Amino acid sequence: MAIPAGSNRGAGIFSSRRESLRPAGDIPPVPLAYCPITDKLKDECGVFAVFGHPDAAKLTALGLHALQHRGQEAVGIVSFDEGRFHAERRVGLVGDNFNDPAVMDRLKGRLVAGHVRYSTTGDSVLRNAQPLFADLGETGVAVGHNGNLTNARTLRETLARNGAIFQSTSDTEVLLHLIALSRKRKFVERLIESLLQIEGAYAFAGLTNDLLFAARDPVGIRPLVLGRLGEAWVITSETCALDIVGATFVRDVENGEVVIIAKDGLTSHRAFPKRPARPCIFEYIYFSRPDSISNGLSVYDARLG
């Protein structure tokens, strides 16, 4: 599964970091919304995660390559295997950083999450490369995020006043601190309690030591889809990433939904009351690849009008 090397567009390995982290214990078309855009259009981030495949890391690298248009600043992959989390986070493009067999061999396991980054918030530096990781004691959690949390600054200040120490300037780290502070027993309960405190557009995909999770904001501003590859599950930002790994599209993650994938299968949880979906119109006219299908609508057809 060789990945093409990058072009001049952000290419090159500017810096790298390898980590072996601490062990852990045991639809029809919908109405569109206009999203705030700065002085020039830029891509959002992309997520790709796999549960239950022996080549999960290689599939993730290939899936992230298909999502490269969503972020060219940094790329990261985190895996879990035999009691340990393993992470590779790099600045630059997927093809420039994940073609080395030695790098891929370090990302062992059948449970993997990856991310390509464009900085909606935070600096374009390695410490903000995702998925971000937190040690929760009895387990760990790694998460990648596509979107922008509008109340992240307020939450960050509150968390810092209460002793939280932030390792990055990314708004994604706020979610990790909220999960860590939750006193709920089950991970899904901790995740939902944390989601209820954040605002803005988000599509999260991540993992713990025994499950994959996905979450989409209450109105579905950013895309997130589910796929199957044999017995394995795939979570990703766009259907084009399913196509490149040979996975079959199952459905969109619904707005306001939390999905948990574990050894006993997939479970769906409603984090918010049902609301009409309002996906960002720029996903159809700019961000997404033309060969993707989002919320039941072909991006190519949407651009043709």
Cα distance between residue 204 and residue 182, in whole Å: 18
pLDDT tens-digit map of 14-58: 233 334 443 333 333 334 444 444 434 444 799 999 999 999 999
Q: How many domains does the chain have?
A: 1
Cα distance between residue 288 and residue 110, in whole Å: 28
Structural domain contains residue 159: no
The arrangement of strands across the sheet holding 46-51 comes to 16-23, 84-91, 74-81, 111-117, 46-51, 232-236, 225-229, 248-252
Structural domain contains residue 2: no
| Residue 29: CATH number of its domain | 3.60.20.10
Backbone angles phi, psi at 304, to 5 degrees: -75, -15
Cα distance between residue 175 and residue 191, in whole Å: 8
Cα distance between residue 237 and residue 260, in whole Å: 16
DSSP codes of every residue in the chain: ---PPP-SSS-S---EEEEEEEE---------B-----SS-----EEEEEES-TTHHHHHHHHHHHTGGG--SEEEEEEEETTEEEEEEEES-HHHHS--HHHHHHS-SSEEEEEEE--SSS-SSGGG-SSEEEE-SS-EEEEEEEEEETTHHHHHHHHHHTT---S-S-THHHHHHHHHH---SSHHHHHHHHHTT--EEEEEEEE-SS-EEEEE-TT--S--EEEEETTEEEEES-HHHHHHHTPEEEEEPPTTEEEEEETTEEEEEE-S-------BHHIIIIIS-TT-EETTEEHHHHHH-
Residue tagged 């530096």 (tokens): 125
pLDDT of residue 2: 54
- Annotated catalytic residue 35: no
Structural domain contains residue 221: yes
Structural domain contains residue 239: yes
- Of the listed 35, 45, 240, 280, which one is catalytic? 45
Structural domain contains residue 291: yes
Cα distance between residue 112 and residue 191, in whole Å: 19
Q: What is the extent of the structural domain holding 295?
A: 16-145+199-304
pLDDT of residue 77: 99
Structural domain contains residue 258: yes
Cα distance between residue 202 and residue 146, in whole Å: 6
pLDDT tens-digit map of 91-100: 999 999 999 9
Residue count of the chain? 305
User: 239 vs 22, 66, 161, 292, CA distance in Å?
Assistant: 33, 10, 41, 5
Contacts of 273 (CB under 8 A, 6+ apart): 256
Residue 179 has, within 13 A of its CA and on its CB side, a CA count of: 27
pLDDT of residue 37: 42
Structural domain contains residue 169: no
pLDDT tens-digit map of 117-172: 986 555 667 889 999 999 988 899 999 999 999 999 999 999 999 999 999 999 99
User: 182 vs 88, 194, 196, 253, 260, CA distance in Å?
Assistant: 28, 7, 12, 24, 18
pLDDT of residue 9: 32
pLDDT of residue 26: 35
pLDDT tens-digit map of 243-297: 999 999 999 999 999 999 999 999 999 999 989 999 999 999 889 999 999 999 9
Structural domain contains residue 27: yes
Cα distance between residue 19 and residue 284, in whole Å: 37
